[in-house]
Structure 1
Amino acid sequence: MDARRRNFIRNHCTVKRNIGELTIYEINTKVVYRDKDNKIQVVSIGPANEVPIKAVLLLGETGAGKTHAINTMINYLLHVRFEDDFRFQLKDYVSSDNLRQIDSQTEYITAYIISRHLGVPFDCNYALIDSPGFGDTRENHERATIERLTHFLTTDYGIDYLDCVGLVAKSNQNRISNHQLQMLKEFTSVLGSDIGVITQLLATHASDGLPLVLDVVKNAKVQFQNWYAFDNWPLYISKDDNVHQEGYLEYRWRKMQEEQGRFFKDLQNVHQISLKRTRELLQEKQSFEKTKSTLMNNIKMSVVLKNKIVYLNKNLKKSTELVNNLEEVSWVKCTIPRGYHVHNCDICQKTCREMCENPKNIAAAFAGTGAGVGTATVAGLASAGIAGGVGGAEVGALGGPVGAIIGLSIGAGIGLISGLSTGLAIRKATKNCLAHSREVCHKNGCRHELKDHVVDTEYVWRIKIDPSKIDTYFLVLEESSQLKKQITDNEKTLKDLQEKRNILAEDFMKHIEKINELGTEQTNPDLIISEIILGERENFQHVELLKEFNKKLSDDYTAGKRE
């Protein structure tokens, strides 16, 4: 044993077990990264340095021999010879003691970084990446495996390039299940590049001849560049146990090492895949998925609001009809105080000129003020509990429809009318009567000449609401007001959602352009929207908004090309 290997064993190894004359040393590693949540770890063997890393990721179903293959690679890289009385194995950080025997023992994704300072071939650092097996029987295990691999490839763990994806399969395997192919397809899609150029088939348990699995993989149309017969059987076989077959054992060992040498030599000339680019692509895809999710949430909210606005408008229509039904216009005549007269339009059937003063009625005006005002005040307070009878009555009569209703609620009956008439006598008295003028009236909307008006002692009072229905009327008016406000607020929110969809359309196209730039397959926005529409085909309102969104994408894309 040379000095370098003696120092390595002394400083980095622990005796694990003995097999005949062989001492099995377990290599002690240093943890560089450990992500317990995602079950990912990176460990190093030997001193760190800045030399680039050649990275090999092993994939395969449970029991295919990935971990054994990595141990064979380690012994090759550390120059272990057939005649040596020791072998190396990696420390198992990832096994779970409570798993059933039939289950995969590799729970973590583990990257072993082997330092060039250990004298490895081709003077570079190596990363050998072990992964959980496909085909694990436990529920959701494979989905978790894909998610872990995705996280590993899209997170900076110190490995920036991938040089080989090794598909590990037993040489005598005669079929690949559709399930395994689907898992492999999902993984390869994560990289976003044509990984076929760095994919190699590693046929384990292989001896002489072509492995059966070679044709199986080809027929399954799995892309790979080369295949290697990884006969790992001789690694931990003791010569003491095979005294009569030592020559055969040595032959198998030599074939094993030759194939390892061919594999690592070819590894120096492959086209690397940049994991930095992969990370950027995956992050872009994840952002794109969030944008699609935001779009669907926007569309669902928009549909809910549209339906709500329709519902509110139906209720508003009913409320408006009820208001119209409650508004039953009627006319009430009341006698005005002596000494005054009014001008009632014969055509309009209403009072246009109020309280024209008869001669010599000043005293009557003063007398009516006290009595009538008092009566109106008492009546108003008694009926509605509101102060200001005269003012309320006048507002009710002269301040329009709402004022009429308020006036009715303040004081109805004789006191109101008396107070109204007397109060108006003081405040509205007109000394210059134009009864015989040909002038157009223009009062209260009247467009007839004054000569068409009748001088009368009865004031024609227009009321809009039956006093017995006034409470209901105001309740319905309040309801209508609230409905209008809700409709306005929802329409504003709906408009905001539309504006946000326009912004989402811009983000949508930016993500697609970036994904197309980073990946090898071109993403078509029309196809993506069509897929979403297919999933929403049962909801025609969602489909309509998605079609509008797709048109926006198309218009923006066309406008962008013109620019």
Structure 2
Amino acid sequence: KRKRKVHPGPPAVYQLRSKNVKSGTFTRITVGEKNPNKPNKTILLVGETGTGKSTLINAFFNYSMGVKWEKNAWYQIVVEEEKSQTESQTSNVIVYEIFDFKYNTLPYSLTIIDTPGFGDTRGKENDNMISQQLLDLFRSGDGVNEVHAVGLVMKASENRLTDRLKNVFSSVMSLFGNDLEKNIVALITHSDGTTPKNALKALEAANIKCAKNEKKPVHFLFNNCQREQRTEEQEENLKAAHKFSEKGMRSFIRFLGKTAPQKLEKTKEVLDERKELRICIQNLIEKIQVIEMKKTERIQILEGLEKNQPIVEIDETYKVKEPINGGEWGIVFYDGATFCQLCEETCHYPCTTGWGPKMCGIMKNGRCIVCINKCPASAHVKDTWRYVIKTRRVKMPLAEIDEKYREETETERENKLSLLENIQKQINQLTAEKSQLLDECYQHVVRLEEIALKADSESDINNLDFLIGEMKEIGDTEKFQKLEEMRSRM
């Protein structure tokens, strides 16, 4: 059977038997049979849990089947029991595919992408995971390479965007390239059919970039009571709601039909840049701490040598292997740390994007974007421990200092540098390493401002503030001023 009755009605509610497949890091739910000769339209839905996305996805299916009020039936792909924001635990990107079936009335098939849990209370790690799933979906050979519409799903009763809803929209918008603006529309749910003035004003006040018609956000109205029990008292109201919801769906389908799809090349680039910037910033913060510890150690030695002290008291840095709470997570991910065997440094922690280092998000074209020398993926290992730099207070004799710190920078030159010059050279190298890391982060920030639809999300501003402080500290006036200009525009 392709369906089962879950409610006698009226309207009778049927749960469709779909084909559910875990494809890489995202879930694919399919109804019908794919027709290679039929064009496809792709919609990406964004919105809080509880705004009625499940009903909206089911409405797309019912409309494509030509289900009318008189049929007294309602068909579900998604169970319409959306949990509250705090109860919802789904973190997988879900791709709904509505293909050919007996009563399909649309001239094309539909692909609907849902991003449940994005921007919710679980924070940035959850958002980063969903961003990675979207990137996997857009890169996959059988994934999605173009989008016809991005639907911002919100209730008609919204008279302002809550901080949480604003964060949802802002977080998702920051993932797209700036070529998608004309494809972004508002899908207003729980509507009574009148113009949702407050909701539209809320979108404008939040400066959400989207398609405009006479300077107003392009929007479509839907009611969410299609499966409600049709009692004698409510029948007329429910019938009217069904009609105007059908009108909203008809208008949206026309919009899809005449809207040119946007290729996702720029969006994939934005996702890549954001991923690399996120990893660079995380790595930079850790590296700066280590660099400052190593510099402090060497400065203490210099001061001791300049005072001709036979024994110098220093905060010596040393490296340990620290176990982490990692291991198998589900059937796809492996929670651990990726580290380089050549550099003997942790490159990515926590790493939850694959079983081995080649699948780790820090790898680009087979090389690590974190290693100073961009070491190959083959030089990396993923395990349940990581390298950590610590300090200990020690007293070190001059002979021991000479042996340890001269060996670290031994060159092929016949005459070795003096110990003082050697240590000063190490300090300079550490400073140069910090500048290189800062420059890599800076280049990602500049590129994102050029290509991203939205470059003023909370994470963007936090990254800018951090980089501005670091650039000021190292005295890079040109980059400092450029970042200050970008910050003022936000």
Tell me which interval the TM-score lies in, with the shorter structure as reference length: 0.5 to 0.7
Q: How far did residue 265 of structure 1 move? A: 1.0
Q: How far did residue 184 of structure 1 move? A: 1.7
Question: Do 1:18 and 1:24's aligned partners in 2 also have CA atoms closer than 8 Å?
Answer: yes
Show the 5 A alignment for 1:228-307.
Answer: 228-233=220-225, 235-237=226-228, 241-242=231-232, 246=235, 249-307=238-296
Indicate the residue corresponding to 1:388 in structure 2.
Answer: none
Question: Do 2:222 and 2:249's aligned partners in 1 also have CA atoms closer than 8 Å?
Answer: yes
Q: How far did residue 488 of structure 1 move? A: 5.8
Q: Which runs of 5+ in 1 are unaligned?
A: 1-9, 323-474, 537-541, 555-563
Q: How far did residue 62 of structure 1 move? A: 3.2
Q: In the aligned structure 1, how far is the partner of 2:61 from the partner of 2:209?
A: 27
CA offset digits 1:124-177 (Å, max 9, x no partner): 2212233436796xxx43546533442332122512222222222222333322
Indicate the residue corresponding to 1:545 in structure 2.
Answer: 474
Q: How far did residue 77 of structure 1 move? A: 0.9
Q: How far did residue 321 of structure 1 move? A: 8.5
Question: Do 2:45 and 2:153's aligned partners in 1 also have CA atoms closer than 8 Å?
Answer: yes
- Equivalent of 1:188, from 150, 153, 173? 173
Question: Do 1:95 and 1:107's aligned partners in 2 also have CA atoms closer than 8 Å?
Answer: no
- Equivalent of 2:99, from 104, 111, 115? 115
Residues 493, 105 of structure 1: CA spacing in aligned structure 2 closer, same or farther, 3 A cutoff? closer
Structure 2 SS opposite 1:175: coil
- Equivalent of 1:78, from 45, 65, 69? 65
Question: Do 1:26 and 1:88's aligned partners in 2 also have CA atoms closer than 8 Å?
Answer: yes
Structure 2 SS opposite 1:15: strand
Do residues 313 (structure 1) and 302 (structure 2) align? yes
Structure 2 SS opposite 1:42: strand
Question: Do 1:110 and 1:129's aligned partners in 2 also have CA atoms closer than 8 Å?
Answer: yes
Question: Do 1:316 and 1:480's aligned partners in 2 also have CA atoms closer than 8 Å?
Answer: no
- Equivalent of 2:183, from 179, 198, 223? 198
Q: How far did residue 511 of structure 1 move? A: 4.3
Question: Do 1:28 and 1:91's aligned partners in 2 also have CA atoms closer than 8 Å?
Answer: no
Question: Do 1:316 and 1:484's aligned partners in 2 also have CA atoms closer than 8 Å?
Answer: no
Residues 546, 522 of structure 1: CA spacing in aligned structure 2 closer, same or farther, 3 A cutoff? farther
Indicate the residue corresponding to 2:208 in structure 1.
Answer: 222
Q: In the aligned structure 1, how far is the partner of 2:65 from the partner of 2:288?
A: 60
Q: Which runs of 5+ in 2 are unaligned?
A: 212-217, 312-395, 407-418, 484-490
- Equivalent of 1:532, from 466, 484, 488? 466
Indicate the residue corresponding to 1:336 in structure 2.
Answer: none
Do residues 44 (structure 1) and 30 (structure 2) align? yes
Question: Do 1:231 and 1:256's aligned partners in 2 also have CA atoms closer than 8 Å?
Answer: yes
The TM-score normalised by the length of structure 2 is 0.62
Indicate the residue corresponding to 2:393 in structure 1.
Answer: none
Identify the structure with the greater strand proportion: 2
Show the 5 A alignment for 1:317-328.
Answer: 317-319=306-308
Q: In the aligned structure 1, how far is the partner of 2:44 from the partner of 2:224?
A: 18
- Equivalent of 1:150, from 131, 148, 151? 131
Indicate the residue corresponding to 1:129 in structure 2.
Answer: 113
Q: How far did residue 207 of structure 1 move? A: 2.4
Q: In the aligned structure 1, how far is the partner of 2:397 from the partner of 2:12?
A: 95
Counterpart of 1:178 in structure 2: which amino acid?
Answer: D
Counterpart of 1:159 in structure 2: which amino acid?
Answer: V
Q: How many residues of Structure 1 are paired with residues of Structure 2 in the alignment?
A: 370
Q: In the aligned structure 2, how far is the partner of 1:180 from the partner of 1:534?
A: 29
Give the number of the structure whose alpha-carbon radius of gyration is greater.
Answer: 1
Q: How far did residue 80 of structure 1 move? A: 1.0
CA offset digits 1:72-120 (Å, max 9, x no partner): 221111111222143211144x979xx7898348664322111145554
Q: In the aligned structure 1, how far is the partner of 2:436 from the partner of 2:175?
A: 28
Q: In the aligned structure 1, how far is the partner of 2:156 from the partner of 2:15?
A: 28
Indicate the residue corresponding to 1:61 in structure 2.
Answer: 48
Residues 479, 29 of structure 1: CA spacing in aligned structure 2 closer, same or farther, 3 A cutoff? closer
Q: How far did residue 189 of structure 1 move? A: 0.9
Show the 5 A alignment for 1:455-494.
Answer: 478=399, 481-482=402-403, 485=406, 487=420, 490-494=423-427
Show the 5 A alignment for 1:11-22.
Answer: 12-20=2-10, 22=11
Counterpart of 2:147 in structure 1: which amino acid?
Answer: L
Q: In the aligned structure 2, how far is the partner of 1:484 from the partner of 1:105?
A: 52
Residues 229, 296 of structure 1: CA spacing in aligned structure 2 closer, same or farther, 3 A cutoff? closer
Q: In the aligned structure 2, how far is the partner of 1:134 from the partner of 1:303?
A: 36
Q: In the aligned structure 2, how far is the partner of 1:25 from the partner of 1:482?
A: 79
Question: Do 1:529 and 1:550's aligned partners in 2 also have CA atoms closer than 8 Å?
Answer: no
Q: In the aligned structure 2, how far is the partner of 1:247 from the partner of 1:549?
A: 68
Show the 5 A alignment for 1:370-381.
Answer: none
Q: In the aligned structure 2, how far is the partner of 1:529 from the partner of 1:172?
A: 34
Question: Do 1:188 and 1:195's aligned partners in 2 also have CA atoms closer than 8 Å?
Answer: no
The TM-score normalised by the length of structure 1 is 0.55
Q: In the aligned structure 2, how far is the partner of 1:477 from the partner of 1:251?
A: 90
Question: Do 1:47 and 1:117's aligned partners in 2 also have CA atoms closer than 8 Å?
Answer: yes
Question: Do 2:49 and 2:84's aligned partners in 1 also have CA atoms closer than 8 Å?
Answer: no
Counterpart of 1:236 in structure 2: which amino acid?
Answer: R
Q: In the aligned structure 2, how far is the partner of 1:149 from the partner of 1:101?
A: 16
CA offset digits 1:296-352 (Å, max 9, x no partner): 555544443433333213322444689xxxxxxxxxxxxxxxxxxxxxxxxxxxxxx
Counterpart of 1:19 in structure 2: which amino acid?
Answer: G
Q: In the aligned structure 1, how far is the partner of 2:228 from the partner of 2:81?
A: 23
Q: In the aligned structure 2, how far is the partner of 1:484 from the partner of 1:134?
A: 49
Q: How far did residue 205 of structure 1 move? A: 2.3
CA offset digits 1:495-538 (Å, max 9, x no partner): 54455457657755764675466445799xxx9997335545xx
Identify the structure with the greater helix proportion: 1
Structure 2 SS opposite 1:174: coil
Question: Do 2:49 and 2:85's aligned partners in 1 also have CA atoms closer than 8 Å?
Answer: no
Do residues 23 (structure 1) and 12 (structure 2) align? yes
Select between 196-205 and 248-257 the one with higher mean Cα deviation.
248-257
Residues 68, 106 of structure 1: CA spacing in aligned structure 2 closer, same or farther, 3 A cutoff? farther
